[in-house]
């Protein structure tokens, strides 16, 4: 058992660094958010093609209902990236990425609405603290500009979208490998973004070499992180992997200060600490599920 723990720390650090750079790449790009999102999905689909080819026979397992769910899942994923990347154009990296950590909170609310799932009073307390922290971040951003608070709202809506993506896709991923699932959803997301950009007359190709490099890096770094997290499931449980993702806002905020010269207000710092700690404790609590009657 002790041997299994040895390779864990370094891969987790590498994965957190990889996903932390995502927000930085978006900030560096001058392309529209929907274009960045589109090429993020297109290049990610291409990158995982070798693995998709290995598991290609699993496509035969998919029935019409599965394809419809994959399609809607892709739509929500497209909305997630479009909204989040749009958020990063308006607010700070710290605010946008910290709000993303509210995903477990939104997932719990979605689970309650759709499946009548219940949780403990302690978990509800952690969730309440996380929401207070998010409000504090918004208050701090309001002092910066009205655009910043709009960015916070877009980031939160992107969380709602990604939870929708996960809730829709959770039944399909049990039937096929995550490579087939990811490729299908990525491809549908890319298709929806292409359609949106064409209908709204957003230029698809007129970008310089620097922008194309950012599009590619934006696909590579998060994809590497997701592969590492999937590999880590051989050694640690899903909750632990989820908690490690909380390192993203910390890493991204540090990189934003160093590479982008962003500054954090006291409200952002305090609210960020509230969100990260409360979500961490909430996820830790999920190892001991208790039903609230």
DSSP codes, 113-173 = HHH-----HHHHHHHHHHHHHHHHHHHHHHHH-HHHHHHHHHHHHHHHHHHHHHHHHTTTT
Cα distances from 34 to residues 38, 154, 155, 196, 286, in angstroms, run 6, 13, 14, 8, 35
Residue 236: which pLDDT band, with cuts at 50, 70 and 90? low
pLDDT surpassing 80 at residue 25: yes
Could you count the other beta carbons within 10 Å of the beta carbon of residue 6?
A: 9
Share of the chain above pLDDT 90, in %: 28
* Residue % of the chain over a pLDDT of 70: 80
The total of other beta-carbon atoms located within 10 Å of residue 46's CB is 16
Are the C-beta atoms of 189 and 38 separated by less than 8 Å?
no
Token pair belonging to 127: 């969730």
Can you tell me the distance from the alpha carbon of 261 to that of 27, in angstroms, rounded to the nearest whole number?
12
User: CB-based contacts of 138: which residues, under 8 Å, 6+ apart?
Assistant: 95, 149, 152, 271
CA–CA gap between residue 129 and residue 270 (Å, rounded) = 12
More confident residue, 23 or 117: 23
* Structure confidence at residue 130 (pLDDT): 73
- Write down the pLDDT at residue 288: 47
What DSSP line would sit under 48-103, residue for residue? THHHHHHTGGGGGG--HHHHHHHHHHHHHHHHHHHHHHHHHTTS-HHHHHHHHTTH
In eight-state DSSP terms, residue 237 is -
Highest mean pLDDT among 126-135, 184-193, 258-267: 184-193
Could you tell me which residue, 157 or 105, shows the higher pLDDT?
Answer: 157
Q: Band of the pLDDT at 234, cuts 50, 70, 90?
A: low
Among candidate residues 32, 13, 1, 14, the one with its CA nearest the CA of residue 203: 32
- Cα 63 vs. chain centroid, distance in angstroms? 28
In the block, tokens 């655009």 appear at: 147
pLDDT, tens digit, 9 for 90 and up, residues 169-181: 766 767 777 788 8
- Least reliable range by pLDDT among 29-33, 53-57, 104-108, 148-152: 104-108
Neighbouring CB atoms inside 10 A of 200's CB total: 9
Prediction pTM value: 0.81
Confidence bin at 252 (pLDDT 50/70/90) = confident
């Amino acid at each position: 058992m002790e041997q299994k723990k040895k390779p864990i720390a370094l891969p987790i650090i590498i994965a957190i660094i990889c996903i932390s750079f995502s927000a930085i790449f978006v900030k560096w790009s001058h392309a529209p958010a929907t274009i960045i999102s589109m090429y993020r999905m297109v290049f990610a689909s291409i990158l995982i093609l070798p693995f998709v080819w290995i598991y290609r026979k699993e496509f035969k397992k998919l029935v019409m209902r599965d394809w419809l769910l994959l399609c809607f899942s892709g739509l929500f994923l497209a909305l997630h990236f479009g909204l989040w990347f749009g958020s990063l154009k308006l607010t700070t990296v710290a605010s946008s990425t910290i709000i993303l950590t509210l995903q477990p909170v939104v997932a719990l609310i979605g689970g309650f609405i759709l499946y009548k799932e219940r949780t403990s009073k302690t978990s509800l307390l952690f969730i309440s603290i996380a929401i207070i922290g998010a409000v504090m971040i918004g208050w701090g951003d309001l002092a910066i500009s009205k655009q910043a608070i709009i960015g916070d709202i877009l980031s939160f809506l992107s969380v709602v979208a990604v939870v929708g993506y996960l809730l829709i896709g959770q039944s399909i991923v049990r039937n096929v490998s995550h490579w087939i699932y990811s490729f299908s959803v990525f491809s549908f997301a890319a298709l929806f973004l292409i359609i949106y950009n064409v209908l709204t007359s957003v230029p698809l190709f007129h970008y310089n070499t620097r922008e194309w490099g950012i599009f590619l890096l934006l696909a590579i770094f998060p994809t590497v992180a997701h592969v590492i997290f999937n590999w880590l499931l051989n050694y640690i449980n899903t909750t632990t992997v989820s908690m490690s993702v909380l390192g993203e806002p910390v890493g991204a905020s540090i990189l934003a200060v160093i590479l982008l010269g962003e500054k954090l207000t006291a409200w952002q710092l305090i609210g960020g600490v509230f969100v990260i700690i409360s979500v961490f404790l909430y996820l830790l609590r999920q190892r001991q599920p208790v039903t609230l009657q």
